[in-house]
Amino acid sequence: MDAFYASVELLRYPQLKGLPMVVGGSRRRLEEALAAQGVDVSQPERIALEHFPRLRSYVGRGVITTASYAARAFGIGSAMGLMKAAKLCPDAILLPADFDEYRRCSRAFKGVITDIAPVMEDRGIDEVYIDFTDVPGGQREGGRVLARLIQKSIADATGLSCSLGVAPNKLLAKMASELQKPAGITVLHPNDVQARIWPLAARKINGVGPKADAKLAALGIATIGDVAATPLPTLLQHFGRAYGHWLHESAWGRDDRPVVTHSEPVSISRETTFERDLHARNDRAELGAILTRLCEQLAQDLQRKGYRCRTVGIKLRFDDFQIATRDQTLPVCVQTAAELRAACGQCLKRVDLSRRLRLLGVRAGKLEKSAGEAPHHAPSASALGGPEPATSASASSAVCEPMTLDLFNPPDDSHA
């Protein structure tokens, strides 16, 4: 999908079309903020431009979830800090994310696709792979006819645009889908690899991250063609057997992965970065409320997707950017917010909370399907007790129980 979150927002606020706009920052719904200013929000499409918040007024550590193509022209992109983006385009409009609406639109466009081509692999909220092989007419014009049908059907049903890459395998289809954004269709044949893929930067291979890219650059390898020209033994020497082979095959456009129509998630998580650093003692009520909200959101995710979990974990990022994670494996599977929060409390007892925090996250792992199971009561404190090894320990593992309890439990004024 093309700039998916931003495109969904433009359906609600068409008056912003063509303007630089970013999604990110505070989760408070824009309508609530505008209503608090006395702005009529009953007709979102009629809200005057001067009422929308601008990037220049943002103060905090939030990052951009996505940006409109007009904003991208200023060098703004996903995962960029909002304050950095404000220096590039201070007049860009800032909208908070509305993930409920994004998920609804995601389900809508995927439903359109499966009505046409039912062999679909879900790759997240805004991306899928589709196998055209057995779709009637799927091979006409090398797949371009079916791609146009899918593109038009999505636009008619949802008002959203997408870009499609048609190729013999998933690797090339992914790269092709990026070549003519927005609203493009790119058809790649095997004999197109050298002319159209090799000139691209090596980073364009889906699976080559910043570290691998830096390592390739240190070897004088800049493009996909350079990777293809590098002897396989050299790649194996510097990247290991598995990754080296994969790099070699990818550079030559070879990929035998099938389109997978069903897969089980490994874990489900929720996390939030704070607008300011918080301390377990001084900000215990705020942190406790945040933890409760994250557990409620995670419980809703589990229940919506039909899972219970046997492992519950926390993630903390401190003010020095060090990260600590702790997991708790439970004797029974859990699903409710109260159960998740109780397990998180046990995890927090094994973390030194003397430093200020930038981020808090919760995670559910060892998932099991819950369909048909009767709900059960939360396990007792004794069932939840007992330390488990930390999955990582960037921070000290010293126990600081009084401060942990400050974070986990709201302050009780009666004991002051």
Percentage, residues of the chain above pLDDT 90:
66
316-320 long-range contacts (CB < 8 A, ≥24 apart) are 316/351, 316/357, 316/359, 316/360, 316/361, 316/395, 317/273, 317/357, 317/358, 317/359, 318/355, 318/356, 318/357, 318/358, 318/395, 319/277, 319/355, 319/356, 319/357, 319/358, 320/355
Q: What is the pLDDT of residue 40?
A: 87
What whole-number distance in Å separates Cα of residue 51 and Cα of residue 340?
40
127 part of the active site: yes
Place of tokens 């007419």: 137
Q: What is the pLDDT of residue 150?
A: 96
Contact 67/2 with Cβ under 8 angstroms? no
Contact 3/102 with Cβ under 8 angstroms? no
Q: What is the pLDDT of residue 18?
A: 94
Q: Which residues contact 34 (CB under 8 A, 6 or more apart)?
A: 41, 47, 51
Helices H, strands E: what count in the chain?
Answer: 15, 12
Structural domains in the chain, CATH included, are: 4-97 (3.40.1170.60), 267-415 (3.30.1490.100)
pLDDT tops 60 at residue 242: yes
- Establish whether the linkage from the previous residue to 182 is cis, with ω within 30° of 0: yes
Instruction: Tell me the H-state helices in 192-316.
Output: 210-218, 224-229, 232-239, 241-251, 284-305
Q: What is the pLDDT of residue 375?
A: 39
Nearest residue to 246 via CA among 255, 238, 237: 255
What mean pLDDT is predicted for residues 280-306? 91
Confidence of residue 371 (pLDDT cuts 50, 70, 90): low
Q: What is the pLDDT of residue 26?
A: 65
Q: What is the mean pLDDT of the chain?
A: 86
Q: What is the pLDDT of residue 289?
A: 92
At 203 the three-state DSSP class reads: helix
108-119 tens-digit pLDDT: 999 999 999 999
Instruction: Tell me the H-state helices in 98-240.
Output: 99-116, 144-158, 170-177, 210-218, 224-229, 232-239
What mean pLDDT is predicted for residues 84-99? 92
Q: What is the pLDDT of residue 10?
A: 95
Nearest residue to 109 via CA among 123, 121, 126: 126
What mean pLDDT is predicted for residues 244-256? 96
How many Å from the N-terminal Cα to the C-terminal Cα in the chain? 54
Burial 376-389 (b: 16+ CB within 10 A, else e): eebbeeeebeeeee
Q: What is the pLDDT of residue 105?
A: 96
Confidence of residue 252 (pLDDT cuts 50, 70, 90): very high
What whole-number distance in Å separates Cα of residue 231 and Cα of residue 244?
10
Q: What is the pLDDT of residue 256?
A: 94
Contact 121/259 with Cβ under 8 angstroms? yes
What whole-number distance in Å separates Cα of residue 103 and Cα of residue 234?
44
What whole-number distance in Å separates Cα of residue 371 and Cα of residue 388?
28
**Annotated active-site residue in 31, 101, 127, 388:** 127
What mean pLDDT is predicted for residues 303-327? 92
Q: What is the pLDDT of residue 281?
A: 83
Q: What is the pLDDT of residue 395?
A: 32
Across 157-166, 387-396, 400-409, which has the greatest mean pLDDT?
A: 157-166
Taken in order 401, 406, 411, 416, is the CA torsion positive or negative? positive
- Name the least confident of 192-201, 226-235, 273-282, 304-313: 273-282
Q: What is the pLDDT of residue 33?
A: 77
Confidence of residue 404 (pLDDT cuts 50, 70, 90): very low
